[in-house]
Amino acid sequence: MKIELRNITKRFGNVLANDDVSVTVEAGTIHGILGENGAGKSTLVKIISGFIGRDRGTIILDEKPGEIKTPAAAIRAGIGMLHQDPLDFPTLSVLDNFMIGREGGKDKTSSIVLPKKLATKELKYLASDFNFSLDVNEILGNLTVGERQQLEILRLLSLGVNTLIFDEPTTGISASQKDALFAAMRKLADSGKSLIFVSHKLEDVAVLCDRVTVMRQGKVVGEAEIPCPENRLVEMMFGRELASPNKPKTATAEVALQLHNIILKTDRLTIEIEKLTIQSGEVIGLAGLEGSGQRLLLLMCAGLLPATSGNLIINGQDMTNQTYQNYLKAGVGFLPADRLKEGLVNGLTIQDHVALRQSIGRRSFVNWKETLTVTKDKISLFNIRGKADSKVERLSGGNQQRTQLALLPIPLNLLLMEHPTRGLDIESAIWVWQQLIARCQTGTTILFTSSDLDEIVQYSDRILVFSGGNVSAPIDTKELTVNKLGQMIGGKFEDGGLGTGD
Amino acid sequence: MENNQLKIKDYSLRFGTLILTFLFITLIIFLAGASPKEVFVALWQGISSADQFARVLSTLAPLLLCACGLVFTFMAGLYNLGIEGQIIMGAIATTFALRIFQDIIPSYLAILLGIIFGIAGGALWGLFAGVLNVYGKVNEIFAGLGLNFVAQGLTLYLVFGPWKRPGVASMSGTEQFKETVWLPTIGNTEASPIALILAVLGLVVTAIVIRGTYFGLQLRAVGQNLRASYVLGIPAYSRILGAFAICGALGGIAGSLQVLAVFHRLIPNISSNLGFLALLIGMLVGNGILWILPVAFFFSALNVGSLQLPLSLQLESSLAGVIQGSLVLFVLLARAFNNIK
Amino acid sequence: MKLNNFKYFGWVAVLGLILTACNNPAPTNTQSGTQNTQTATPASSQPTDKFTVGLVLVGPKNDAGWSQAHYEAMQYVIKKQPNVALEYVDKVNPSDRPNVKGSQVADDLIAKGAKLVIFNSDDLKDDAFETAKKHPNIPVIHATGDYSWKEGKNFKNQQNLVNIMPQMEYGRMITGCAAALSTQTGKIGFLAPLINDETRRLVSAAYLGSKYCWENYRKKDIKDLNFKVTWIGFWFNIPGVTLDPTKVADDFYNSGYDVVMTGIDTPEAAVQGKKAAEAGKQVKFLHYTLKTGCDLAPDICLGVPIYNWGPLYLDTIRKAESGQIKPEFILGKPDWSNINNPDTSAVGFVFGKALTEENKKTLEQFIKSLGDGSINLYQGLLKFQDGTDFLKAGEKATPQQIWYMPQLIQGIEGKSK
Ligand SMILES: Nc1ncnc2c1ncn2[C@@H]1O[C@H](COP(=O)(O)OP(=O)(O)OP(=O)(O)O)[C@@H](O)[C@H]1O
Ligand SMILES: [Mg+2]
């Protein structure tokens, strides 16, 4: 289906999120939308898929004006969208989620009684068609982000959509899932469906898209056919060329973190680490498929998950079995991937968050004036597109991430991060790492996960590879090739792991 | 500018809702076979004499206190249906104190002790609900309802058992206290200035704590997202317990006032359902703490005025409850509608 | 957005809960709107010679019992004295009308023009007194109670307060006699509410009636009469607080008590009696205060003692109209020439179908003897349950001794306190 957007305008209060945006997506193509954080990409695609209303502008579907007021109407018109933050029901099974959203009587497969058998068959057929492996009876909450995404694609397809919109689908999924996703997208385009792909990642756009539209501050600032030189796109996005920083050596001789005979058990994984020592100022990247145990290690070091046995020593202080509060006092910071579930509080403003961070240890009255100044400083320092009284859920994904970073306590001895630049545009990602490196130079130790291997290789001093709960011995980044890293993620550890057993 | 626009929208929403509610209520009165005009006139007459207005004030005081207490639990994201039980426990504790002290220490001290006991009784009962919620993982609605039941049972037991009037156990409650330990009233009416002062003080303190202190901010954060608050370093569970205890304490004062200023004894239905009424107020005002005052006043007036319905129109006074209920329902619907949009 | 919507569903659910809790099922009178507008005249249209009486009823005015008797008494007054107008509020009790006190209702009634206020429950005695104090020019009638009894224990010198109480002890004696005449097993049960002066008085009176008729008409040894009272703890069943009257009634019928009389507000004695009779047991019951009480199970009903407040109210209201109210403690007497005369007798007895012709005659004879003074059951020698003397041999009881009985009479099985 050919989609024409004409003069779309959307205002939130005094933020002009979309300003007279016109884009044409041809049938059978993959159309990229690029842009910095807060450029208005999510807003635009939410308008197309009926999640928010527009102030002005028309949507034309196959030369006919389309009335899209609700997500259901969008689906009837053949348009489905995968959100940046997945909208599904984590306590229901895969099959239930697959069947949700069907309208009775639309086709023979749906009626008042849930056609479980038929749906199971359909889901299995679709999944094998796209090489997705999904267990229909698994509870959704146990799935990785990538699997949830696959399910959502199949669900939308089963509803008969012929246009699919992906809002930053590659953040938080593994490399193999990404490959499967891209293959599926290509296949869909080849079968005549149109796809819209919102992203920050130029290389993704380069391999996948037929055409891109670049947005900046709510406006369309350019269009390009792919292939097209990367630096031209970067220039369109940011108005200038960018250079990524080099990671200097930041590790010192002091020991920051020691793990002794750690065993971490959950119902899905067991992690064993006999001995691990990390220097102060070091950056350790945790590589591996999503759900291989990286998060457990981060949570444990943050004081949010007690180890089953073993000792954890931070800056010489035995922190085993200490309260989370004491971890905070010891200068441990945690930056979660799921921003609106673990990092930020819906309904509260940026200023509220700043005050909350100050509140630890204090009890009495908030000095709102002082917090306002502090907040404003942070907003300008971290270049957050938002105001002190903006509620966090109204910020764009990237700006939420900046807010999280701005909230990290100072001083910080140990920083644990999940996907620190998830959702950030290239410019911001570079900027964030500059900040982080600067912190390392003052002694902060960093452990981080990322689904982006380049990011891990670029910024880590040493790398731990996780595979199904097995942890490799730390590897010096200089001795590593991406090829070897790929093999290790697949489970081939040459010199054994950190576990006591092997 | 953003805020101004939002405010205008907010006010027009409130206003529109009010008009809709009014129309709806008119319809209901029609269906109940009465004349809306007569009903409104009767309600107005029900609060227009000095006596009646004083009654509005004397109901307002406990209502305000309960609504303030509920602000804390609402902020923490909790539906504290246990407020009724907390009022009752406050009343029982006050009665307990007065039974001991009214004859052996000066009246003003006995009253003071009565209120302090009331605070403690309510706070403990609130804390109890909190402990069930936090450590027992019992949903606070069910914990609250269960504890209400227990408190109600305890009252009945006391009124019919150990604290019964000499010779005559009766639904009318325990023996009246000496007049010296009644809270003084304005003239020959039932309004007690002390009760009002306590209530207004409660409101002011609530507003300050919620808006101006770290505690209030933390409560809001915990209410919106427990996990994120915890990760941000807020002692989330102790804040929840705190909210329960404070709510219970304020409910306890309300219970004290029911004993000291209104009934002058413990009666089986000492809470008079004011806790539930306060829950309605809490839902209606949402985050606008200062709206509690006018809304509570309105509800109190409606509550007192409704006595005129059986008196002059032979209508059930529960019609007032229907009016209050529909008001809340419409406001919630309007808010939900606004949110979906 | 998603989260918030869920939150509102939560709110709405909670709201539902609260609304049902708030409007707890008070027994409502669906006809009240149409039926009574003629009698409750709006204050504004009152001609000056109207004398408005305010009536504060503890229960629903159609409760088929206590409160209805008072409401009907006022209808009687209006018929006899047409310039009297009635303003009333019923269900004045903390569960039906939370946050409303009897004294407040009285204030409002007075504000609407009531020149005399009647309170109809012992539960409202503090309110009656408070009202009398607050409005010294308004006569207040408290049905039951003893605050205005100079010789009583609880006298309060309040010039505008009148207490009225029919002498139900006679009604109870008749009930007791009917039971003694009809029992085959010699076992009589009394399903009683809570223990206070009034109920001790009435249970004792019933026993005295039974005893007399057992010994004198049935010519049997008092040792062979088993008279047992079970107090449930309140006027009706409150689960978890009172005994369950259904169970108590069943226990009576199942353990050989073939006549059960009731003193509570609800009809368990009749209902369970009917079931027992249907199961082939030879049982009978006696109801209380409700004229039509026998209709619950006519074939096994021996009778009902009833209150008749009308003439008492009429008399007092007339006095009030002519400004002659004085603090008075009025004991309403039965009219012995015809205890069921609606204009003269304060206490009556409805004869039930299960009373045999012969027994009915005997009972009428008993009533006649009570009336002409040839029988005085409050005469010694009578002992209390603990063996101490209530009345010495030949001694006649004073009204105070009758009103304030500290214990049940010896011979009754059951608690005194
Ligand atoms: N519901 C809302 N209320 C107020 N402002 C909003 C709302 N949603 C988005 N905005 C604002 O609109 C602008 C565009 O946001 P949008 O989410 O479209 O950005 P984006 O291009 O998707 O950014 P990112 O790459 O960070 O996800 C931002 O400044 C954001 O703060
Ligand atoms: Mg976005």
H/E/C letters for each residue in C274-316? HHHHHCCCCCEEECCCCCCHHHHCHHHEEEEEEECCHHHHHHH
**How many angstroms separate the CA atoms of A216 and A224, rounded?**
15
The pLDDT of residue A190 is 92
Kindly state whether residues A33 and A80 are assigned to the same domain.
Answer: yes
Residue A40 CA: nearest ligand 1 atom is: 18
Same domain, A59 and A118: yes
State both tokens at A274: 């006999």
Give the count of alpha carbons within 13 A of C335, CB side only: 14
- List of chain A residues with pLDDT < 70: 84-88, 101-114, 172, 240-245, 360-363, 494-497, 499-502
3-state SS of B313-330? HCCCCHHHHHHHHHHHHH
Looking at the CA of A16, which ligand is closest?
Answer: 1
H/E segment holding residue C253:
helix C245-254
Could you name the CATH architecture of B50-316? Orthogonal Bundle (1.10)
- CA distances (Å), C255 to each of C172, C260, C273, in order? 23, 12, 13
pLDDT of C160 > 80? The answer is: yes
The full 3-state SS of A394-440, as one line of letters, equals HCCHHHHHHHHHHHCCCCCCEEEEECCCCCCCHHHHHHHHHHHHHHH
CA-angle at A370, arms to A364 and A374, nearest 5°: 120
* Contact (Cβ atoms closer than 8 angstroms) between residue B313 and residue B42: yes
Write the DSSP symbol of residue A128: H
In a domain, A244, yes or no: no
Contacts of B5 in chain A (CB under 8 A): 13
Same-domain status, A417 and A360:
no
The rounded distance, in Å, linking the Cα atoms of A94 and A123 is: 10
Query: Against a cut of 0.90, is the pTM above it?
Result: no
Chains near C (3 or more Cβ pairs under 8 Å): B
Shortest Cα distance, chain C CAs vs residue B158, angstroms: 10
B233 closest CB neighbour out of A325, A346, A364: A325
B333, burial (CB in 10 Å: exposed 0-12, middle 13-18, buried 19+) = middle
Q: Do A381 and A283 belong to one domain?
A: no
pLDDT bucket at C19, cuts 50 / 70 / 90: very low
Which residue from C minimizes the CA distance to B283? C11
Q: What is the pLDDT of residue C131?
A: 94
> Would you place residue C45 in the very low, low, confident or very high pLDDT band (cuts 50, 70, 90)?
very low
A300 and A165, same domain (yes or no): no
Q: What is the CA radius of gyration of chain B?
A: 21
Quote the mean pLDDT of chain A. Answer: 86
Smallest CA–CA separation between A409 and chain B, in Å? 10
Please tell us whether the domain made up of C11-167+309-332 is placed in CATH 3.40.50.2300.
yes
- A448 and A308, same domain (yes or no): yes
Question: Taking a C-beta distance cutoff of 8 angstroms, is the pair B289, B126 a contact?
Answer: no
C169-307+347-413 under CATH 3.40.50.10860, yes or no? no
Cα–Cα distance, B159 to B162 (Å, whole number): 7
Cα(B218) to centroid of ligand 1, in Å? Answer: 26
- The residue length of chain B stands at 341
Q: How far apart are CA A375 and CA A368, in angstroms?
A: 10
Atom 27 of ligand 1, residue of closest alpha carbon: A397
> Domain check: are A481 and A464 in the same one?
yes
A411: preceding bond cis by omega (within 30 degrees): yes
CA–CA distance, C389 with A198 (Å, rounded to integer):
101
Is C42's pLDDT higher than 50?
Answer: no
Top mutation candidate among A47, A396, A431 for ligand 1, by most atoms within 8 Å of CB? A396
**Dist. CA B324–CA C2, nearest whole Å:** 28
For residue C85, what are the β-bridge partners?
C52
Reported ipTM: 0.83
**Subunits that touch chain B (at least 3 Cβ pairs < 8 angstroms)?**
A, C
Confidence of residue B74 (pLDDT cuts 50, 70, 90): very high
Ligand 1, atom 28: closest residue by C-alpha: A38
CATH code, domain with A471: 3.40.50.300
A30: left (phi over 0), alpha (psi -120 to 50) or beta: beta
pLDDT digits (tens, 9 = 90+) for C99-151: 889 999 999 999 889 999 999 988 898 899 999 999 999 999 999 888 999 88
In a domain? residue A339: no
- pLDDT > 70 fraction of chain B, expressed in percent and rounded: 94
Ligand 1 centre to CA of B116 (Å) is 52
What separation in Å is there between the alpha carbon of A421 and the centre of ligand 2?
13
CA B339 from chain centre, in angstroms, equals 27
Is the residue at A249 inside a domain? no
Half-sphere exposure of C377 (CA within 13 A, CB side): 29
From CA A430, how far away is CA C259, in angstroms rounded?
96
Polymer length of chain C: 417
Ligand in closest contact with the CA of A84:
2
More confident residue, B114 or C416: B114
CB-CB neighbors (< 8 A) of C36 in chain B: 314
Measure CB to CB from residue B318 to each of C23, C33, C109 and give the nearest one: C23
Ligand 1 within 6 A of CB of A41: yes
* Strand ranges across the sheet with C301-307: C347-351, C301-307, C284-286, C259-262, C187-192, C226-231, C412-413
Q: Whole-number mean pLDDT of chain B? A: 88
Query: Pick the residue with more confidence: C101 or C11?
Result: C101
Residue closest to B95 by CA, chosen among B314, B235, B256, B268: B256
Is there a contact between B233 and A324 if contact means CB atoms under 8 Å apart? yes
- The CB of A17 under 6 Å from ligand 1? The reply is yes
Chain B closest-CA separation from residue C377 CA (Å): 25
**What is the radius of gyration, based on Cα positions, of chain C?**
23
Alpha-carbon span C16 to C22, nearest angstrom: 10
Residue C279 clears pLDDT 70, i.e. is over it? yes
pLDDT confidence of residue A112 = 54
Contact between B270 and B255 under an 8 Å Cβ cutoff? The reply is: yes
Q: What is the pLDDT of residues C179-220, one digit of tens each?
A: 999 999 999 999 999 888 889 999 999 999 999 999 999 999
CA distances from A438 to A431, A444, A491 (A): 11, 9, 34
pLDDT at B292: 93
Whether residue A359 sits in one domain with residue A311: no
pLDDT at A131: 84
Residue C22 has pLDDT above 60, yes or no: no
Residue span of the structural domain in which A68 resides: 3-238
Q: Copy the structure tokens of residue C19.
A: 């609304």
Distance from CA of A389 to the nearest CA of B (A): 10
pLDDT of residue A499: 65
Q: Are residues A403 and A315 in the same domain?
A: no
Contact C33, B314 (CB under 8 A): yes
Do strands C51-56 and C116-119 pair parallel, antiparallel, or not at all (unpaired)? parallel
pLDDT at position B258, please?
A: 96
Q: For position A71, what pLDDT does the model report?
A: 87
Asked if pLDDT for residue B242 goes beyond 80, the answer is yes
Which residue in the block uniquely carries the two structure tokens 């993982």? B137
Buried b (16+ CB within 10 A) or exposed e, A386-399: bbbebebbebbbbb
* A203, A238, A273 - which closes a domain: A238
pLDDT at B339: 63
Q: Ligand 1 centroid vs A395 CA: distance in angstroms?
A: 5
Sequence spans of domains, chain B? 50-316
Q: Which letter does DSSP use for residue C224 in this model?
A: G
Q: State how many domains chain A has.
A: 3
- One domain, residues A164 and A306: no
**Tokens standing for A32?**
């990229």
- Classify strands A255-265 and A309-314 as parallel, antiparallel or unpaired: antiparallel
Domain shared by A63 and A178, yes or no: yes
A380 burial level (CB within 10 Å; 0-12, 13-18, 19+): exposed
Instruction: Give the mean pLDDT of chain C.
Output: 86
Q: Which of A14, A55, A299, A345 to mutate to test the interface with B (most CBs of B within 10 A)?
A: A345
Cα(B53)–Cα(B189) distance, rounded to whole angstroms?
Answer: 9
Residue ID of nearest Cα to ligand 1 atom 20: A38
Residue A376 token pair: 């404003």
A403 and A414 share one domain: no
Q: Taking a C-beta distance cutoff of 8 angstroms, is the pair C256, C243 a contact? A: no
**For the residues of B224-277, what is the DSSP string, one character each?**
H-HHHHHHTT--HHHHHHHHHHHHHHHHHHHHHHIIIIIISS--TTTTTTHHHH
CA distance C1 to A448: 30
Q: What is the pLDDT of residue B8?
A: 62
Q: Does the beta-carbon distance from C234 to B157 stay under 8 Å?
A: no
Contact: B217, A346; criterion CB under 8 Å: no
Cβ within 8 Å, pair B231-A336? yes
Number of helices (H) and strands (E), helices first, in chain C?
Answer: 12, 15
B-facing residues of A in 235-264 (CB < 8 A) are: none
Q: How far apart are CA C133 and CA C158, in angstroms?
A: 7
Tokens coding A137: 């009876």
CB-CB contact of C208 with C393 (8 Å): no
Which domain-ending residue is among A211, A238, A265?
A: A238
Fold agreement (C11-167+309-332, C169-307+347-413): yes
CB pair distance less than 8 Å for A352 and B213: no
In a domain, A246, yes or no: no
- The CA distances from residue B158 to B97, C113, C239, in Å, are 14, 39, 15
